[in-house]
Amino acid sequence: INSPLRKYCKTMTCKSFFLFFFSSRQDVQTCTTWKAPIIWQGMFKPDDYDQEHKSQGSSVALTVFAIGRYLDVYLKDFLDSSEQHFMLGLPVTYYVFTDTPEKVPNIKLDPQRSLKIIQVERHKRWQDISMMRMKSISDQIESDIRHHSTHVFCFDVDQLFTGRFGPEALGESVALLHAHFYRLPKWLFTYDQNPKSSAYLATGDFYYHAAVFGGSWRNVKALADACHKSIMEDKQNNVEAIWHDESHLNKYFWLHKPSRVLSPEFCWDASIGKRSDIQVRRLMWAPKYYNKLRIA
């Protein structure tokens, strides 16, 4: 691609217009109907994003929860792999939320990278452990993150980085296509079907995965506040959304369209098997060990 054309496209209000017509991926959807890019391998030059975000002074807060046995089983491998692949070259601060701060492993971090531990209570029900993350994320953005990082990324801990997960993933508001749903028709999406829940959604754009979401600190704060509010409304009304925080997240992204969408290359489940459109695996689901971890 020659450089005058690139310059021209940069000045357009919608960069994704360029991506839609000139991306090298013809096998997948690379743009949403509201003109947000869907990021696939081959669509971008990694170096361009590294340079752009370095010169903009981007910095990233990564939030992850490791409560109860999830700390012993997943946290060390998650952090070690993140040191190999997540936003290399940018300042990164990990925010590890746990009920047992003394058990957080001592990870050797690269310069420019640091780790903060936030003690949180251990909710009795796992559904609450998962849902109440929204409140903790919001509080931490307000008290700390917004003073130190431009962007926030929130992750499940039961995953492993296996490839570059760089600033091409950064945006104002970022959602991830769920690996199990990206090729399925909408009627199979597992949105909440109960009109009594505030997560109720009759239809949507995509089925997004709550294991990865992000954006500017302002937008992630707004998302976490909105999801927490609707989770609490449901509790008042004695209902719970079918997929907990994930249902509320899908409702939120239906009402507030993400500015950037990550392909399932950014969070792949090996049990799906080989798919020709998945050209790189940047983050992988870790094994579930249901019998050991979900006794409660």
Q: Give me the residues that bind ligand 2GW (CB under 6 A), please.
A: 65-68, 70, 126, 129-130, 156-158, 209-211, 243-246, 293-294
Which residues on neighbouring strands pair with residue 160, listed in sequence order?
284
CB of 246 to ligand 2GW, least distance (A): 3
Which of ligand 2GW, Mn ion, none interacts with 151 (beta carbon under 5 to 8 A by kind)?
none
Residue closer to Mn ion, measured from CB, 18 or 95: 95
Q: Distance between CA atoms of 156 and 25, rounded to whole angstroms?
A: 28
Nearer to ligand 2GW, 50 or 156 (CB): 156
Burial class (CB in 10 A: 0-12, 13-18, 19+), 75: buried
Q: Which C-beta is closer to ligand 2GW: that of 20 or that of 77?
A: 77
Q: Pick what 66 binds: ligand 2GW, Mn ion, none; C-beta below 5 to 8 Å, kind-dependent.
A: ligand 2GW
Distance CA 227, CA 199 (A): 9
Least spacing, CB of residue 49 vs ligand 2GW, in Å: 25
Residues 6+ apart with CB under 8 A from 168: 39, 44, 46, 49
- 175, containing H or E segment: strand 173-176
Residue 50 or 158 with smaller CB distance to Mn ion: 158
Here's the x/- map for Mn ion, 152-171, by CB under 5 A: it reads as ----x-x-------------
**Cα dihedral sign for 33, 34, 40, 45?**
positive
CB of 182 to ligand 2GW, least distance (A): 15
> Which neighbouring-strand residues pair with 31?
37
